[in-house]
Amino acid sequence: MLPWFRRSACALVACLVATVPALGQDLKALEEAAAREGQLTWYVSHYGADTAAEVGQAFSKKYPAVKVNVVRSTAQVAFQRLQQDIKNSVAQCDVFSTTDIGHYTSLRTENRLAKYQAANGAKIAPEYHAAVEKDGHWYPTTGILMVIAYNTKKVAEKDAPKSWRDLADPKWKGQLALGHPGFSGTAGVWALYMQKLYGKAFFATLEKNQPLIGRSMLDTITTLNSGERLVANSLIGPALDSAAKGNPIGVAYPEEGGTMVDSPSAILANAPHPNAARLFMEFLLDVEHARIMVTGPRYESVRPEVKPIGGKPLNEVKFVRVPDQEVVDGMQPLIDLWRDTFGN
């Protein structure tokens, strides 16, 4: 009997679930096994609380016998919580979704992640194939593009920043909002790209503009909506969603390229509900989840059948991916530099 099954499961059921879902074929058998477990716990930082709850509810609507316990926080806080679980030998999290690839590589090195060859993993768009971990330890379940956002009531389109370097222009002193790489994985990837483009001195220049730094990247949209700040680095999805609700938000695609973060999800090796976790992973890679992504937070869809609503499709946008190893090696030094520079 494989170690990720409960010892109380009968040998016949264990054999069926161990063999078939690993091949990514018989989802009906997986659904039945998940129903017997009845629930799963999802640590997620990809979305805001409302969207994360919507995803959990959509899954339970499709599979009424399985409840999703949603635990939403920023990327670094989610990882700290998971690390605390590990330290205390508590098996609580089933599926872990964060924007920081370094979390996954660390967990894989420690054999904390389960391998799973998802049936829907073969159906994701070609643009995301490179983001699938070769042994099935994690899959990209959405994509997040970082661009420039601005308050349209106070900043005309022609005057909005056209490049990331423009954010350091003194005219935005006291008018700039940024996310914090110590809390947000997407903010961290953006900051690594800025350091790669313009060096460490770029942050000292930004600091002179006295930016308002929030923890979550969602905070930058809030400050633009209120008019407290006028320009920001921003996730395009929440920016477009806010604009669609009538808020004064515009977006600009920076000349250097937006930063693309393939936001993965993984199953924990000690998941207390392993079959429910596998079924949930299939859902995160399916069209239902992709439709929530493009209609709610307006993030990128990993399924080619589901097209973006608003904004531009990825094949029309200049964007960059910071290599995984650069994220792994550079994130903590970058966070230290950020705190030394901005004092928080």
pTM of the prediction? 0.75
Q: What percent of the chain has pLDDT over 90?
A: 71
Compute the mean pLDDT over every residue in the chain, rounded to the nearest whole number: 89
CA distance 37 to 254: 47
Q: What percent of the chain has pLDDT over 70?
A: 93
Say if residue 7's pLDDT is above 80: no
Residue 3 CB coordination number (10 Å): 9
Say if residue 8's pLDDT is above 50: no
Predicted confidence band at 25 (pLDDT cuts at 50, 70, 90)?
A: low
Predicted confidence band at 1 (pLDDT cuts at 50, 70, 90)?
A: very low
Average confidence (pLDDT) over 68-96: 95
Predicted confidence band at 338 (pLDDT cuts at 50, 70, 90)?
A: very high
Burial of 172 (0-12, 13-18, 19+ CB in 10 A): buried
Do the domains 11-141+263-310 and 144-260+316-342 sit in the same CATH topology, yes or no?
yes
CA distance 269 to 92: 11
Question: Which pLDDT score is estimated for 262?
Answer: 86
CA distance 94 to 81: 13
* CATH code for the structural domain at 144-260+316-342: 3.40.190.10
CA distance 219 to 180: 10
Q: Measured in whole angstroms, how far is the alpha carbon of residue 63 from the centre of its chain?
A: 24
pLDDT in tens, 160-177: 999 999 999 999 999 999
Half-sphere exposure of 332 (CA within 13 A, CB side): 5
Say if residue 27's pLDDT is above 80: yes
pLDDT greater at residue 147 or residue 131: 147
Q: What are phi and psi of 339, to 5 degrees?
A: -70, -35
In the chain, the amino acid numbered 341 is T
Q: What are phi and psi of 179, to 5 degrees?
A: -90, 160
> What per-residue string of b and e applies to 110-132 under the rule 16 or more CB within 10 Å gives b?
eebbbebebbbbeebbebbeebb
Adjacent-strand bridge partners of 121: none
In the chain, the amino acid numbered 125 is A
Average confidence (pLDDT) over 279-304: 91
Report the CATH superfamily, name and number, of domain 11-141+263-310.
Periplasmic binding protein-like II (3.40.190.10)
The CA distances from residue 137 to 105, 114, 120, 145, 278, in Å, are 9, 6, 14, 23, 12
CA distance 60 to 46: 19
* Pure H helices in 48-119: 49-62, 75-87, 101-109
Average confidence (pLDDT) over 119-137: 91
What is the residue whose two structure tokens read 């650069």?
326
Say if residue 185's pLDDT is above 50: yes
Q: Which residues contact 82 (CB under 8 A, 6 or more apart)?
A: 43, 93, 96, 103, 107
Q: Are 145 and 319 in contact (CB under 8 A)?
A: yes
What are the sequence ranges of the domains in the chain?
A: 11-141+263-310, 144-260+316-342
Average confidence (pLDDT) over 182-200: 93
Predicted confidence band at 241 (pLDDT cuts at 50, 70, 90)?
A: confident
Compute the residue count for the chain: 344
Q: Are 221 and 297 in contact (CB under 8 A)?
A: no
